[in-house]
Each structure stands twice: as structure tokens, then as C-alpha cells.
Amino acid sequence: MIKANVYVTLKPSVLDPQGKAVMNALHSIGHDSIDNIRISKFIEIKFQEDDLEAVKSKVEEICKTVLANPNTETYRYDLVKL
């Protein structure tokens, strides 16, 4: 069994309204030293197979076609053998 930890993040040039809203909320309750907040998705996918190379190419395809919007988001991942 292999677990993929996938991070889908907005590109730095894209505004993150959810992060901005949380930052404003935290500023309003006194957390003034917060400079920036970005909120991303963290996706854990468990595969019932043990071939790292095969899983890697599947995760790559899944990220490109399903999980990340190539216009606004980037992705990265690591694979862990369980």
C-alpha cells in the first residue's frame, strides 16, 4: 500500500480570498504580527498497490486532470510506502 500526500496550492500571483478573510479576522482579534496567510488543499490518497513508479505516474495524471486547476493552482506530492 502506498500513500500519496498531495498539496494543491494557489499560484503566488493568484489572490486567496479565503486566506485574506482569515487574516483579517485574526488581525481584528489582536494577532497583528501575522503578515500573510495562504490556504491550500492537502489530499491524502491511499493506493492498494506497491509499485512506486506506477503510483507516481497515476498521481501525476490525477493532479493534472482532476485535483488542480492548471490556470490558478500548482501541485506537489510525496509518496510514502505503508
Instruction: List residues binding its own copies (CB under 8 A).
Output: 1, 7, 9, 19, 22, 25-26, 31, 33-49, 58, 62, 66-67
As measured in angstroms, the least distance from the Cβ of 71 to its own copies is 19
Asked if residues 22 and 37 have their Cβ atoms less than 8 Å apart, the reply is: yes
As measured in angstroms, the least distance from the Cβ of 65 to its own copies is 8
As measured in angstroms, the least distance from the Cβ of 41 to its own copies is 6
- Cα–Cα nearest to 8, from 56, 72, 61, 54: 72
Write down how long the chain is. 82
